[in-house]
Structure 1
Amino acid sequence: MNDSTTTAATIQRWLDEHRITEVECLIPDMTGQARGKIVPRHKYDPAAGLRLPEAVLTMTVTGDYPEQDFTPVADPDMRLVPDASTLRLVPWAKEPTAQIIHDCVHFDGRAAELAPRNVLRRILSFYERDGLQPIVAPEMEFYLVEIEPDEDIPLKPPVGRTRRTEAGMQSFSIDAVNEYDDIFDVIYDWCEAQGLKLDTLIHEMGTAQMEINLDHGEPLALADQVFLFKRTVREVAIRHGMYATFMAKPMQGQPGSAMHIHQSVLDRASGRNIFSEADGSPSPAFFHFIGGLQAYLPAAIAFFAPYVNSYRRLSRYTAAPINLSWGYDNRTCGLRVPHSPPEARRVENRLAGVDVNPYLAIAASLACGYLGMRERRQPSEPLTGSAYEQPHQLPRHLDDAIERLLACAPLAELFGEHFLRTYAAIKEAEYREYFDVISPWERRYLLLNV
């Protein structure tokens, strides 16, 4: 049997064993949302896969499209091929339901270059070619908020089990987390049912702001877990009468929400962390990786701050990075090196908001580090003071970020020119639509005063 036949047989056995009646066939789109089809079990053929319009990969967060076509004008389909390693139960479904992430391929077998999973695979292929294996561990912050259907009304923290909202900021408070015990019990249960490897749960700085970390592992598997984790947390929150939001800056006067990415690189042959020498000291590759992040993250910022709201978080007043200083165990820096034994030496990229597409953010961070190693980039000296007192080094707006991305030839080489231009056009379309909206601040202060 060929590989596709073996994969199809494996999937069919799993569906039979779990008595599945429906299959959710998922792909992550450019925003990180789940697109696809729900298929009755008896109609699902994993050997044949499914079809979906290729243009789905060019949709904006509002469901619109760029003015220019980046897929053929005939609006053709692409094939969705199931990845058996992503097969999981849907724990909140009433009937036995499976979910499986599919890969997007053209009918001639080529990978669809606009699909975020394929983009991450492309970046990983450069590491594989050099005999390297990146390892990542994402940390995800999010807010629980009161349900408010009217988007013109500011968000509020939800009521907990004491029937009160939080008073002030409750960083690392156990009791504040326990206010939402019912929610987190279900989150842990549903994540366990899906094989999502949760590590730590803490209360972050904001009111009803939480952070959950994932165990470290291979980048594509971790991006899949983030993709499914967001979907799971939103579902749990709604079933408990509140929203979970992964906006980067959902509430005025509150800190933003990040997705910090811890990164290390292993030698595939030996399994050794190449960031450490045999004597335990930092290696040249470690410093080159940091140098690459410092050199190329400003051009890649549109992957880490993908929406207009994202830039509200990147301010010296919101405990978020404003530059790419690096330091040992220095949380004010955009790049932090936590204390660890030599075999676990890693770099934490603190730039990304939790609103990112996890596949693209992980791909971009690894791409910048890879370029640093390839070009032997040297980083600045590590910072011991506050990076918030250092100059602002990052783009302030989405349109500035798009310009920098399009001007970066080394990133275009790694990501592919067509993907980079498509992504930039999607962001430009989103920015134009946002710019048409007149905000309450403008009406309040400009309507009668200018």
Structure 2
Amino acid sequence: MKDLESWLKEHNITEIECVVSDINGIARGKIAPVSKFIAEKGMRLPESILLQTVTGDFVDDDVYYSLLDPADIDMICHPDPDAIFLIPWAQEPTAQVIHDCYDRVGNPIDLSPRNLLKRVLRLYEEQGWKPIVSPEMEFYLTKRCEDPDLPLQPPIGRSGRQETGRQSFSIDAANEFDPLFEDMYDWCEAQGLEIDTLIHEEGTAQMEINFRHGDPLAIADHVFVFKRTMREAALKHNVAATFMAKLFQMNRAVLCICTKVSWT
């Protein structure tokens, strides 16, 4: 277990992103100067943030009030010393620390995805089992798009051409975005993320990063941090990265054929 204060001093950290994961894997939390972080050793957040949607909206009232206290009480969040990571893309020396969520009497908050994973791992431990995981993270690269009502498009690579179809396992297609992936690998190394191979997946501008085998909780933290890292690397190179599935619209001719087949 790391000594947080010693680690922060060693890396000359001036700012801390205190984060928890909501149910969609989006980082929620507070940004604080390192002096305040050390003094308070935690933070309070409204429990309702765990149920926010990807757009920042809250779930329907029926679900909301069946799972949460109507008073929208705060949960107590404590930093995990083993879940601290540098933020290489920040202008100032900055780190992010993943926190665990508890209620006022110290019980883990059930809605916290990290607490849920810990509960599942305890069930394995009771059986004398130790699970090992190795996730594959698939994502799409896209052009930057300011209008959410417009369809996303594949980005333009180093050749100046836009990818238009499947390029499964193509080295040349992956190399179109070499500068982006070089930054991504450098940043992951700086954060201690256990990533392995990169491949071009089947979809248009769809990539995949494989993680090395490891402890489920540690790897889950790494995946959480990796998604932020990948998005930041993409933005640096004027494209976007998204982990949505089936991102691009189908060609109309293909859609008509599929529809005709489905009717027969």
Code of the aligned partner of 2:23: M
Kindly provide the amino acid, as one letter, of the partner of residue 48 in structure 1. Answer: K
Aligned equivalents of 1:36 and 1:170: distance in 2? 38
Q: What is the rounded CA distance, in whole Å, between the counterparts of 1:234 and 1:134 in structure 2?
A: 29
Establish whether residue 76 from structure 1 lines up as the match of residue 70 from structure 2.
no
Counterparts of 2:69 and 2:203 in 1: how far apart (Å)? 45
Alignment partner of 1:78: what SS?
strand
Residues 46 and 138 (structure 1), Cα distance of their counterparts in 2 relative to 1, 3 Å cut: farther
Q: 1:66 aligns with which of 60, 69, 88?
A: 60
- 1:221 and 2:231 correspond: no
Give the alignment's TM-score, normalised by structure 2.
Answer: 0.90
Structure 1 residue 166: Cα displacement: 2.1
**Alignment CA distance shift 1:96-1:253 (3 Å):** same
Aligned partner of 1:199: which letter? D
The answer for the alignment partner of 1:98 in structure 2 is 95
- Aligned amino acid, residue 142 of structure 1: F
Aligned residues: 248
Q: How does 1:32-431 map to 2 (within 5 A)?
A: 32-45=25-38, 48-62=41-55, 63-68=57-62, 69=65, 70-253=67-250
- The letter for the 2-side match of 1:64 is F
Structure 1 Cα separation of the partners of residues 51 and 150 of structure 2: 30
Q: CA deviation at 1:46?
A: 6.7
| CA apart distance, 1:125 | 0.8
Deviation sequence 1:62-81 (CA, Å, 0-9, x none): 32233131221222111111
User: Residue 41 of structure 2 contacts residue 79 of structure 2 at CA under 8 Å; is this kept in 1?
Assistant: no
Identity %: 55
Secondary structure of 2:130's aligned partner: strand
1:278-302 Cα distance to aligned partner (Å, 9 max, x none): xxxxxxxxxxxxxxxxxxxxxxxxx
The one-character-per-residue Cα deviations of 1:366-390 (angstroms, maximum 9, x if unpaired) are xxxxxxxxxxxxxxxxxxxxxxxxx
Q: What is the TM-score of this pair, normalised by structure 1? A: 0.53
Residues 105 and 164 (structure 1 numbering): CA distance in 2 closer, same or farther, change over 3 Å? same
Larger fraction in strand: 2
Q: Which amino acid aligns with 1:34?
A: A
CA distance in 2, matches of 1:140, 1:46: 37
Q: Partner of 2:254 in structure 1?
A: none
Structure 1: unaligned runs, 5 residues or longer? 1-5, 255-316, 318-450
Root mean square deviation, CA, Å:
1.6
Amino acid at match of 1:184: F
Q: Of the two, which has the highest radius of gyration?
A: 1
Task: Determine the structure 2 residue equivalent to 1:369.
Answer: none
Give ranges in structure 2 of 5+ residues lacking alignment. Answer: 252-257, 259-264
Cα distance in 2 for residues equivalent to 1:211 and 1:241: 19
Is 1:25 aligned to 2:18, yes or no? yes
